[in-house]
C-alpha cells in the first residue's frame, strides 16, 4: 500500500530517538536538523547529493510517528499485528487440532466486528502498517468480507499491507472480493501435494479446493492483482518429509515462496521431538540436489530464512522457531479471537483488550448499532493522547487501552524459550494461541436428558501377593477395595474442581465396581469399572474417568509398600448414553437398549 501523503509533512519530520524511553519520547526536529545529523562530511558533491536524496526519501518514508506504546524495552517497534478472527476451522490438521476440535467460546466472549475494527484502527493510529488475519480458519467467519473492507479502509490512515493466513479451502470463493477489499498477501497452508496424504494430515477432504485457490491467486496475479503468495508447509518426520523436494520443484515455474515450518510443540498436539524435522536437515536435503541453493537477504523483520535456486521463478523459506529463534527482530503483536493481546507467540502473558473496550458499553459486546452511536459521539469529543499522536477516534477509552498495551509491550522478553524448555512449557495449541483462550463449551442451549457413562481401568501387579493380601484384607492401610470405591465416588463429584473446563454436574448415581483377577502368568490385577449417571445437559464421561482413575490411584497408594512396580493401565470410556449422539459402546454407535 502506498504511504498516505497526509502522513508526510513538508517542513517537519518525526524521527525516532535511538532509545524510546517514555510515551512522550518521540522527538520532533526540523528537516534541516535531521539532514545535518545524517549528512556525511567526506563525500564528493555528487555522492552527497545522492546521499541527501536517499536520506530525504528514507526520512520521508520513515516519517510516520511511531508510538512508544508499541516499542519495547529492546527498542523493537511493533508495526505488525496479527488478529485471530475465529477459533473455528474446517480442517483438523494433526499438528494443530485434536480430532474432535477445540472447545469453542460462547459467542459473546469473542470480539465482534466493530470491536476488531476499533482495535485495528487504534493500532494503525500508533504505527502498525501490516495486519494479518488468521484463526482458526479466518475464511469461515461469516462477515469476513465486510470486516476486511473496513480494515482495508485503514489504508488512508497508514496501513500498507492486509494479509490473510488460510488453509485455502474456501478461499477461491471469496478471493476476488477480498482483493477488492484491499488484500495484499496470502500465506496458504499446504503440507502435502498428495490428495490422500492431505486427507490423513488434515483429517478432511479438500485438496482440490485448496489447489483451486492457489491457481486462482496466480491467475489474478497475471491480471495485476499483485498478491504476495506464500505456501506454508509444516514438515513432520515420517509424515510428509519425503515431499520436501516436490514442494521445491513447485517453485521452478511458479512465482511463489514455499516456506517449510519446523513442527512446534503445543499442548495437545502429541509433541514428539522425534517428529521435528529441523531446518538444517531440510537444507542439507535440498542442497544434495541443488548445491547452488543461495541465501537471499530478506526484510529485517522476516521470520523466515529465504533461499533461491538460481533460475527458479519462486523461492524457498524456512521458519525455524524450534532451532533458531528470530526474537531479536520480532515486530509482531497478536490479538486472540477473544480479544487478548499476546506479545509473544510462545509466552503465556495475555491481557484482555476486549474487557477494556467493553467498559464503555457496560461490559456488553459492542454491536453494529452501538458502534454507530459511538462513532457519532466520537466525532464531537476527541481528546488528545499522551504521546501526542493522532488517535483513531473510534473507541472512547483509547488512552486506557494504549496504557495497557504499552505496559504489555514493555514486559515483552528479549527472546522466547529454547527447544528444551518449549517442549515442556504449558502453552495453548497454535489454534488457540491465535484464536482464543481455552474455555468451557456453552451448554445453555442444550436440553437436559438422562446420561450415563462407563469408564474402566486396571491396576496391574507384578505378582499375586498384593491381590491375596487385598482379598484377605491384610494390607496394612486397611480395606483397599472399600476405600477405593468411596474415593472413586467422591472424586466423580469433584470432577469440575479438578478438570478446568468441566461443568459442575449434579450426578444422580455413581457406582464403582472392583474385581480381583488372577492372570495366567501368575500376576494379578484389580479391574475397576465406574458408572456415572445424571439428568443433565452434558455428558458424564469425565466423571466416570475421574472415578475410575481415582479408585486406581487409591489402590496404588494403599499397595505401594507391597508391590513397587505395579502399573495403572487401560483407562478409557467404554460406554456413553444420552444426549444428541445417543448410545456409544467402545467408541462405536450402538442401537441396543440403554443401561438406565
Q: Which does 92 bind (CB under 5 to 8 A by kind): ligand SAM, ligand SF4, none?
A: ligand SF4
Quick one: residue 509, left, alpha or beta (phi over 0 = left, psi -120 to 50 = alpha)?
A: beta
Which residue number, 189 or 460, has a Cβ lying nearer to ligand SAM? Answer: 189
The reply to whether 436 sits near ligand SAM by the rule CB under 6 A is no
| Site for ligand SAM contains 95 (CB under 6 A) | yes
Q: What is the DSSP string of 531-581?
A: EEEEEESS--HHHHHHHHHHHHHHHHHHHTTT-TT-EEEEEEEEEEE-STT
Q: Which is nearer to ligand SAM, 67 or 189 (CB)?
A: 189
Phi, psi for 296 (deg, rounded to 5): -110, 135
Which residue's C-alpha cell is 476486549?
354
Set of cell numbers at residue 392: 483513531
Q: Which of 119, 234, 455, 489 binds ligand SAM (CB under 6 A)?
A: 234
Binding of residue 236 to ligand SAM (CB under 6 A): no
Q: Least distance (Å) from ligand SF4 to the CB of residue 137? A: 5
Nearer to ligand SF4, 93 or 533 (CB): 93
Q: What is the largest CA-CA distance in the chain?
A: 103
Q: How many residues bind ligand SAM (CB under 6 A)?
A: 20
Q: How far is C-alpha 214 from the geometric centre of its chain's CA atoms?
A: 23
- Are residues 525 and 517 in contact, defined by beta-carbon separation less than 8 angstroms? yes
State the burial class of residue 337 (Cβ atoms within 10 Å of its Cβ: 0-12, 13-18, 19+): buried
Find the binder of ligand SAM among 113, 120, 166, 184 (CB under 6 A): 166
- 204-213 contacts: CB < 8 A, separation 24 or more? 204/90, 204/91, 204/92, 206/90, 206/91, 206/169, 209/168, 209/169, 209/170, 209/172, 210/167, 210/168, 210/169, 210/171, 212/172, 213/166, 213/168, 213/169, 213/171, 213/172, 213/175, 213/188
The Cα–Cα gap between 473 and 268 comes to: 41
Binding test (CB under 6 A) with ligand SAM, winner from 71, 86, 239, 269: 269
| Residue 432 in contact with ligand SAM, rule: CB under 6 A | no
| Cα–Cα distance, 575 to 497 (Å, whole number) | 23
* Locus of grid cell 466520537: 378
Q: Write the interaction track for ligand SAM spanning residues 243-262; mark x where CB under 6 A is met and - where it is not.
A: ------------------x-
Interface pick for ligand SAM out of 115, 137, 350, 541 (rule CB under 6 A): 137
Q: Which window, 3-11, 164-172, 343-351, 541-549, contacts ligand SAM (CB under 6 A)?
A: 164-172
Question: Minimum distance from CB of 82 to ligand SF4 (Å)?
Answer: 13
Site membership for ligand SAM, residue 189 (CB under 6 A): yes
Q: Applying CB under 6 A, does 325 fall inside the site for ligand SAM?
A: no
Q: Look at residue 448 and give its three-state secondary structure.
A: coil
Q: Which stretch binds ligand SAM (CB under 6 A): 36-44, 162-170, 285-293, 477-485?
A: 162-170
Q: Alpha helix (H) ranges present in 430-540?
A: 430-435, 465-471, 480-493, 495-498
* Helix (H) and strand (E) counts in the chain: 18, 20
Q: Which is nearer to ligand SAM, 89 or 250 (CB)?
A: 89
Sign of CA dihedral 192, 193, 198, 200: negative
Could you tell which of ligand SAM, ligand SF4, none binds residue 264, using a CB distance below 5 to 8 A set by kind? ligand SAM
Can you say how many angstroms the Cα of residue 390 is from the centroid of all Cα atoms in its chain?
A: 31
Per-residue binding string, ligand SAM, 167-186, x by CB under 6 A, is x-------------------
In this chain, which stretch among 98-106, 160-168, 364-372, 478-486 interacts with ligand SAM, using CB under 6 A?
A: 160-168
Please give the residue ranges that form the binding site for ligand SF4 (CB under 6 A).
Answer: 89, 91-93, 96-97, 135-137, 167, 189, 431
- Looking at 232, 278, 340, 554, which residue binds ligand SAM (CB under 6 A)? 232
Q: Which is nearer to ligand SAM, 208 or 364 (CB)?
A: 208
Inter-CA distances, 398 with 84, 336, 363, 373, Å: 21, 19, 16, 16
Per CB under 6 A, does 430 bind ligand SAM? yes
Q: 97 contacts which partner out of ligand SF4, ligand SAM, none, CB within 5 to 8 A by kind?
A: ligand SF4
> For residues 386, 387, 393 and 399, what is the CA-based torsion angle, rounded to 10 degrees?
-40
Q: Please, what is the end-to-end C-alpha distance for the chain in angstroms? A: 65
Could you say which of 194, 403, 527, 557 is catalytic?
557
CB of 254 to ligand SF4, least distance (A): 22
Say whether 557 is catalytic: yes
Contact criterion met (CB below 8 Å) for 342 and 333: yes
Identified binder of ligand SAM from the candidate list 264, 344, 489, 545, rule CB under 6 A: 264
Span near ligand SAM by CB under 6 A; candidates 1-9, 36-44, 264-272, 353-361: 264-272
Candidates 431, 481, 547, 573: give the one binding ligand SAM (CB under 6 A): 431
Query: So which residues are the catalytic ones?
Result: 557
Q: Which residues bind ligand SAM (CB under 6 A)?
A: 89, 95-96, 134-135, 137, 165-167, 189, 232, 234, 261, 263-264, 266, 269, 430-431, 434
Amino acid at each position: 500500500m502506498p504511504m498516505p501523503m497526509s502522513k508526510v509533512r513538508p517542513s517537519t519530520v518525526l524521527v525516532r530517538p535511538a532509545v524510546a524511553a517514555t510515551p512522550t519520547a518521540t522527538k520532533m526536529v526540523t528537516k534541516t536538523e535531521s539532514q545535518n545529523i545524517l549528512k556525511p562530511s567526506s563525500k564528493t558533491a555528487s555522492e552527497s547529493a545522492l546521499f541527501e536524496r536517499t536520506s530525504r526519501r528514507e526520512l520521508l518514508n520513515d516519517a510516520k510517528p511511531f508510538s512508544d506504546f508499541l516499542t519495547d524495552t529492546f527498542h523493537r517497534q511493533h508495526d505488525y499485528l496479527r488478529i485471530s478472527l475465529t477459533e473455528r476451522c474446517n480442517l483438523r490438521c494433526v499438528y494443530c487440532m485434536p480430532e474432535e476440535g477445540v472447545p469453542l467460546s460462547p459467542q459473546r466472549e469473542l470480539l465482534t466486528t466493530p470491536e476488531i475494527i476499533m482495535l485495528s484502527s487504534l493500532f494503525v493510529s500508533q504505527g502498525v502498517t501490516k495486519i494479518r488475519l488468521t484463526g482458526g480458519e479466518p475464511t469461515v467467519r461469516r462477515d469476513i468480507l465486510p470486516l476486511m473492507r473496513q480494515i482495508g479502509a485503514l489504508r488512508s490512515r497508514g496501513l500498507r499491507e492486509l494479509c490473510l493466513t488460510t488453509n485455502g479451502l474456501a478461499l477461491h470463493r471469496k478471493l476476488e472480493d477480498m482483493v477488492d477489499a484491499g488484500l495484499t498477501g496470502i500465506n496458504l497452508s499446504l503440507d502435502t501435494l498428495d490428495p490422500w496424504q492431505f486427507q490423513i494430515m488434515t483429517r478432511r477432504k479438500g485438496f482440490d479446493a485448496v489447489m483451486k485457490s492457489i491457481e486462482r491467486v496466480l491467475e489474478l496475479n497475471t491480471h495485476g492483482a499483485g498478491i504476495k503468495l506464500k505456501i506454508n508447509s509444516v514438515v513432520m518426520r515420517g509424515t510428509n518429509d519425503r515431499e520436501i523436494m516436490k514442494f521445491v520443484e513447485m517453485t521452478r515455474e511458479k512465482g511463489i515462496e514455499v516456506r517449510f515450518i519446523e513442527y512446534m510443540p503445543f499442548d495437545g498436539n502429541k509433541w514428539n521431538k522425534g517428529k521435528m524435522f529441523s531446518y538444517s536437515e531440510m537444507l542439507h536435503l535440498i542442497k544434495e540436489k541443488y548445491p547452488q541453493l543461495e541465501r537471499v537477504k530478506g526484510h529485517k523483520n522476516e521470520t523466515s530464512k529465504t533461499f533461491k535456486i538460481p533460475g527458479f521463478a519462486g523461492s524457498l523459506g524456512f521458519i525455524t522457531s524450534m532451532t533458531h529463534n528470530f526474537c531479536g527482530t520480532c515486530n509482531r503483536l497478536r490479538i486472540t479471537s477473544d480479544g487478548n493481546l499476546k506479545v509473544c507467540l510462545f509466552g503465556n502473558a495475555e491481557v484482555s483488550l476486549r474487557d477494556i473496550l467493553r467498559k464503555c458499553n457496560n461490559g456488553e459486546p459492542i454491536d453494529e448499532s452501538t458502534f454507530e452511536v459511538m462513532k457519532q459521539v466520537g466525532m464531537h469529543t476527541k481528546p488528545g493522547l499522551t504521546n501526542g499522536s493522532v488517535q483513531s477516534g473510534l473507541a472512547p477509552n483509547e488512552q486506557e487501552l494504549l496504557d495497557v498495551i504499552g505496559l504489555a509491550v514493555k514486559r515483552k522478553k528479549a527472546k522466547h524459550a529454547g527447544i528444551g524448555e518449549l517442549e515442556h512449557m504449558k502453552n495453548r495449541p497454535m489454534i488457540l494461541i491465535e484464536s482464543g483462550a481455552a474455555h468451557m463449551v456453552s451448554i445453555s442451549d442444550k436440553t437436559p436428558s438422562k446420561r450415563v457413562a462407563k469408564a474402566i481401568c486396571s491396576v496391574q501387579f507384578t505378582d499375586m501377593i498384593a491381590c491375596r493380601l487385598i482379598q484377605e484384607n491384610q494390607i496394612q492401610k486397611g480395606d483397599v477395595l472399600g476405600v477405593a470405591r468411596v474415593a472413586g465416588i467422591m472424586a466423580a463429584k469433584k470432577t469440575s474442581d479438578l478438570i478446568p473446563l468441566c461443568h459442575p454436574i449434579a450426578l444422580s448415581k455413581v457406582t464403582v465396581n472392583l474385581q480381583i483377577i488372577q492372570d495366567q502368568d501368575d500376576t494379578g490385577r484389580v479391574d475397576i469399572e465406574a458408572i456415572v449417571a445424571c439428568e443433565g445437559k452434558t455428558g458424564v464421561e469425565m466423571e466416570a474417568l475421574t472415578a475410575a482413575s481415582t479408585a486406581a490411584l487409591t489402590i496404588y497408594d494403599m499397595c505401594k509398600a507391597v508391590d513397587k512396580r505395579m502399573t495403572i493401565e487401560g483407562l478409557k470410556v467404554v460406554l456413553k448414553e444420552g444426549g444428541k449422539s445417543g448410545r456409544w459402546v467402545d467408541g462405536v454407535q450402538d442401537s441396543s437398549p440403554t443401561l438406565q
